[in-house]
């Protein structure tokens, strides 16, 4: 078999790269060992957000009752919810398979091994080789194991397993307060699980703007989630019914608690095992992630790499953009992967979204800064939704007023962050954002008011 490009992995980086290459007239083979859509579609982003939406609706029932809608908690048919979630995933997977067929992309199920820069061996139902002019590695990432904690996929497991529970567990310990850990914690807390989160760092979602992180931690705890920062799990004892866990606290004390389930959410590593034949060497960093240049080329020029396998930030939309750029470069277009900003969202209750520098990062980079904030409690649209928790925070360069970063904690954060993204890409000033006419009544007005608050000119708060 001879192809212009062989893509290893059909996740959010690989499948868009394949479609774009086909659009540009290339003959493309995609090798995928599991399901198209990768972790993101099948065991990550999409099923998690489906459950997150259900948790958000369930958490809103009290508000509905308060405003006179008479909606009560009629119970949780968890099996039915899981069936709906799987239906969402199946429909999207079939959609990608249809797009492959309609664009002439060939899909081959199996495990790929790079034999040379121009040959890939695929082990599926039969062993076969594919000759190619270029290779794109889009193999993604997998959870990082913790020393002395062995998953058994029943009581101790990674986040993917938590998406397929048949019943809501009565109690669960989550190790890791990053995006994955917090999302799972808030989802199952809303479903009725008693949740405890342990994080070794001194804030939730390390790397997030500290003020946003501190407020998110308070809201998570207010929901009934027990949170231990600067803490770690010292030991786990299994019995027939429960896991007895000893948690070391920052003051040197320890507590012992019983849980039915334990979820590990402490990081991810690249999927590169058995990827390369002995004669092929690709440069990696100290953590095993593949190094690439602005053209997404590895140290072997005809082998490209995209997505999680190239290192942090491990984001599906980053992988997609890299895939499209790699496709255009291979097709001979003058393209570069050089984004000015990379947005990130955490789908907790409420949602967090961030783009650009945090306040701490701006200081570390040597900027003199000004900060603007606007709370949901002063926003008309938020009041109509019963949402008082949350705020928009804008970081600007002092003097020029150039936007450096935007952070949102609250309902609709994932939609609102787009304005900050475009502002950073276009080198916008907070004055231009604040003076732009924003529709009323919307949550987006909080961005306008936060931008105005940078210069202490916001209307609906005391500056």
- Is the bond preceding 441 in cis, omega lying within 30 degrees of 0? yes
Phi-psi region of 104 (alpha: psi -120 to 50; beta: other; left: phi over 0): left
pLDDT, residue 347, reads 97
Residue 77 has pLDDT above 90, yes or no: yes
Counted residue by residue, the chain has a size of 463
Give the residue-averaged pLDDT of 216-221.
98
pLDDT, residue 37, reads 97
For 185-194, what is each residue's pLDDT tens digit? 999 999 999 9
pLDDT, residue 240, reads 87
Angle in degrees, CA 271, 272, 274, rounded to 5: 125
Would you name the residues annotated as active-site residues? 440
> If you compute the radius of gyration of the chain from its CA atoms, what whole number of angstroms results?
24
pLDDT, residue 362, reads 98
Residue 425, C-beta contacts closer than 8 angstroms, at least 6 positions apart: 339, 340, 341
pLDDT, residue 355, reads 98
Rounded CA separation 385/443 (Å): 10
**Domain 350-454 is found in CATH 3.40.190.10:** no
pLDDT, residue 156, reads 97
**Percentage, residues of the chain above pLDDT 70:** 99
63 to 56, 59, 74, 381, 442: CA distances (angstroms): 11, 8, 15, 15, 19
247 to 180, 207, 337, 454: CA distances (angstroms): 20, 24, 43, 42
Class of domain 156-266: alpha beta
Do domains 2-143+269-330 and 156-266 share one topology? The answer is yes
Residue 352, C-beta contacts closer than 8 angstroms, at least 6 positions apart: 205, 208, 212, 216, 345, 346, 407, 408, 409, 413
Rounded CA separation 463/458 (Å): 7
Residue 281 banded pLDDT, cuts 50, 70, 90:
very high
The 352-356 sheet, strands edge to edge: 344-346, 352-356, 403-409, 391-397, 369-375
Residue 197 banded pLDDT, cuts 50, 70, 90:
very high
pLDDT, residue 1, reads 86
pLDDT, residue 62, reads 86
**Percentage, residues of the chain above pLDDT 90:** 94
- Give me the residues paired with residue 376 across strands: none
Q: Which of 30-39, 62-71, 79-88, 280-289 has the lowest mean pLDDT?
A: 62-71
For 219-266, what is each residue's pLDDT tens digit? 999 999 999 999 999 999 999 889 999 999 999 899 999 999 999 999
Domain ranges of the chain: 2-143+269-330, 156-266, 350-454
Residue 458 has pLDDT above 90, yes or no: yes
pLDDT, residue 78, reads 95
DSSP 214: H
Task: Look up the pTM and report it.
Answer: 0.95
Give the residue-averaged pLDDT of 87-115.
97
224 to 181, 188, 197, 368, 390: CA distances (angstroms): 15, 11, 11, 39, 18
Rounded CA separation 397/421 (Å): 16
**Average pLDDT value for the chain:** 96
pLDDT, residue 65, reads 87
The answer to whether the beta carbons of residues 259 and 238 sit under 8 Å apart is no
Residue 71 has pLDDT above 80, yes or no: no
The answer to whether the beta carbons of residues 22 and 28 sit under 8 Å apart is yes
Residue 113 has pLDDT above 80, yes or no: yes
pLDDT, residue 241, reads 86
Residue 432 has pLDDT above 80, yes or no: yes
Rounded CA separation 263/245 (Å): 12
Residue 64 has pLDDT above 90, yes or no: no
First to last CA, the chain: 67
Nearest to 13 by CA among 313, 271, 325, 330: 325
Q: In CATH, which of 3.30.460.80, 3.50.50.60, 3.10.129.10, 1.10.3720.10 is domain 2-143+269-330? A: 3.50.50.60
pLDDT, residue 367, reads 97
Nearest to 20 by CA among 302, 326, 309, 332: 326
pLDDT, residue 70, reads 74
């Amino acid at each position: 078999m001879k192809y212009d490009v062989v893509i290893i992995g059909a996740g959010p980086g690989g499948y868009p790269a394949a479609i774009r290459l086909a659009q540009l007239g290339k003959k493309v083979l995609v090798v995928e060992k599991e399901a198209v859509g990768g972790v993101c579609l099948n065991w990550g982003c999409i099923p998690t957000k489906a459950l997150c939406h259900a948790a958000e609706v369930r958490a809103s029932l009290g508000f509905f009752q308060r405003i006179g809608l008479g909606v009560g908690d009629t119970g949780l048919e968890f099996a039915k919810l899981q069936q709906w979630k799987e239906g969402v995933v199946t429909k999207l997977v079939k959609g990608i398979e249809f797009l492959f067929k309609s664009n002439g992309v060939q899909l081959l199920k199996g495990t790929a091994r790079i034999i040379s820069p121009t040959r890939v061996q695929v082990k599926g139902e039969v062993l076969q080789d594919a000759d190619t002019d270029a290779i794109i590695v889009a193999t993604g990432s997998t959870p990082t194991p913790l020393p002395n904690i062995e998953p058994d996929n029943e009581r101790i497991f990674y986040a993917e397993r938590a998406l397929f529970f048949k019943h809501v567990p009565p109690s669960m310990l989550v190790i890791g307060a990053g995006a994955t850990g917090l999302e799972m914690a808030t989802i199952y807390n809303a479903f009725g699980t008693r949740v405890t989160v342990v994080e070794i760092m001194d804030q939730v979602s390390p790397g997030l703007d500290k003020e946003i992180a501190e407020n998110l931690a308070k809201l998570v705890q207010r929901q009934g989630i027990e949170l231990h920062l600067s803490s770690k799990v010292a030991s786990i004892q299994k019995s027939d019914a429960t896991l007895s866990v000893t948690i070391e606290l920052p003051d040197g004390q320890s507590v012992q608690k019983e849980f039915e389930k334990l979820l590990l959410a402490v990081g991810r590593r690249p999927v590169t095992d058995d990827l390369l034949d002995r004669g092929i060497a690709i440069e990696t960093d100290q953590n095993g992630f593949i190094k690439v240049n602005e053209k997404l080329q590895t140290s072997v020029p005809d082998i490209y790499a995209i997505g999680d396998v190239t290192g942090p930030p491990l984001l599906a939309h980053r992988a997609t953009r890299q895939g499209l750029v790699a496709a255009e470069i291979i097709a001979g277009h003058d393209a570069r992967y050089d984004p000015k900003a990379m947005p990130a969202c955490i789908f907790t209750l409420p949602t967090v979204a961030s783009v650009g520098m945090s306040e701490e990062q701006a200081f570390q980079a040597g900027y003199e800064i000004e900060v603007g904030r606007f709370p949901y409690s002063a926003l008309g649209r938020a009041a109509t939704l019963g949402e008082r928790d949350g705020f928009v925070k804008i970081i600007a360069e002092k003097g020029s007023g150039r936007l450096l970063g935007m952070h949102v904690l609250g309902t609709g954060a994932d939609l609102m962050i787009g304005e900050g993204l475009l502002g950073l890409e276009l080198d916008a000033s907070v004055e231009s954002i604040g003076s732009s006419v924003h529709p009323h009544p919307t949550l987006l007005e909080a961005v306008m008011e936060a931008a105005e608050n940078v210069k202490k000119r916001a209307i609906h708060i005391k500056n």
